[in-house]
Amino acid sequence: QVQLVESGGESVQAGGSLRLSCAASGPFFNLLSMGWFRQAPGKEREFVAAISWNGVYTSYADSVKGRFTISRDNAKKMVDLQMNSLRPEDTAKYYCAADREFYRDTASNDPNQYESWGQGTQVTVSS
């Protein structure tokens, strides 16, 4: 399994920006699609953004389109999530995840298609 470590979460005022990073270790990271999910207290984990193994395809939840951007650097084994125009409803613990299959030519929003998960990083947005 790919081991993942998220970083960059902190408290920020509404309208501000944050950049989350996910550092991966182990072989074959460059063959796997990657995703970001988030979970607020008392709520189900929800999809945020995903990127295909080669970076060709990306997908976003409707709630973050135009505000968040996912990117990856396979040489550095990193996946980032740039978050702009943050809102209080973005408050959650954010998780990085790796696909369970190689070379999937989509950016899936289904958490069941992801096998490896990081420990999460907390983002708090105040109004």
Residue 123: what are its φ and ψ, rounded to 5°? -120, 125
| 1 pLDDT higher than 80 | no
| 104 pLDDT higher than 90 | no
Confidence label for 55 from pLDDT (cuts 50, 70 and 90): very high
Contacts of 83 by beta carbon, 8 Å cutoff, 6+ apart: 17, 18, 19, 20, 64, 67, 68, 90, 123
Residue 111: what are its φ and ψ, rounded to 5°? -65, -20
Tokens of 41: 């207290």
Rounded to whole angstroms, how far apart are CA atoms 46 and 93?
Answer: 11
